[in-house]
Structure 1
Amino acid sequence: MTGAGGAEARLRARLAEVDARLAAQRSAVAGIVESARDANVDDEHDPEGATLAWERQQAAALAAGAEAERHELLAALDRVAAGTYGVCEVCGRPIPAARLAARPAATRCVEHAR
């Protein structure tokens, strides 16, 4: 797949993967919170309390990462619609296809990558 149509299809496929991962992480957080509801809430003295808190924070961090990637992919889809996808926002040159394959929501070429 090449061109804007190919880029859009790849971005939408990646977005579907990220949406599934986000839903799974949100479900995991809800499950941990639900299981902790009936547990001893004294994390300091309950040997399982620290584990539950760590698991909840881990799942929440993974969900936040998925949410950030989702936002980047939606912005990339906006750039496809505007005709600016694959163009470095700093120098205006094309972003190499290999970079876009590795980072579909990239906004900068390798030279200007942060």
Structure 2
Amino acid sequence: MADYERFRLLLEEERQLKLALLPALRADIAAANSARQGANVDDEHDPEGATIAFELSQASALLNQSSAGLDQVEAALTRIADGTYGSCAVCGRPIAEGRLEARPWTPYCIDHAAAGRS
């Protein structure tokens, strides 16, 4: 098995960044919901309503994306721990090092990346 220590360190760093970001995104959502409760509920006709709805939608999308990214990072760290990191989850062939450098959380080689969306 190859030495994936540098990827483990990258993944740990990414994990910490995402863990720090999630509470801030949740706070943004709570603030937008709070502002929405104080505003006119007719988002279409209230000038502030559309802005609040947009901010809420944007923060929710970022929260979902960050949560999914954290799940991918956690799964990659698990693969490092169990010795399967760096092997494609579909074909079992090694994932190119350049691909792992670009996307250290990916479980797929470039040939199977489109199928797994990673």
Deviations 1:58-88 (A, max 9, x none): 1100100000000111111110111000111
SS of the equivalent of 1:80 reads: helix
Alpha-carbon distance in structure 1 between the residues aligned to 2:14 and 2:3 = 17
What are the ranges of 5 or more consecutive residues in structure 2 without an aligned counterpart? none
What is the CA distance between 1:5 and its match in structure 2?
A: 2.5
Q: Give the C-alpha shift of residue 42 in structure 1.
A: 2.0
SS at structure 2 position matched to 1:112: helix
1:106 equivalent in structure 2: 106
Q: Please, what is the CA RMSD of the aligned residues?
A: 1.5
Tell me the amino acid that sits aligned with residue 32 of structure 1.
Answer: A
Q: Which residue of 1 aligns with 2:32?
A: 32
| Aligned residue runs from structure 1 range 60-79, under 5 A | 60-79=60-79
Inter-partner Cα distance in structure 1 for 2:60 and 2:53? 10
Paired position in structure 1 for 2:52: 52
The normalised TM-score by structure 1 is 0.90
Number of the residue aligned with 1:16: 16
Identical amino acids, percent of aligned pairs: 44
SS in 1 for 2:112: coil
More helix by share: 2
Structure 1 stretch displaced more, 36-45 or 77-86: 36-45
Q: Distance in 1 between matches of 2:29 and 2:51?
A: 13
Name structure 1 gaps, 5 residues minimum.
Answer: none
Amino acid at match of 1:53: A
1:4 is aligned to 2:4: yes
Matched letter for residue 26 of structure 1: R
Counterpart CA distance in 2 for 1:110 and 1:44 is 44
1:47, distance to aligned residue in structure 2 (A): 1.5
Aligned length in residues: 113
Aligned-partner Cα distance in 1 for 2:11–2:64: 19
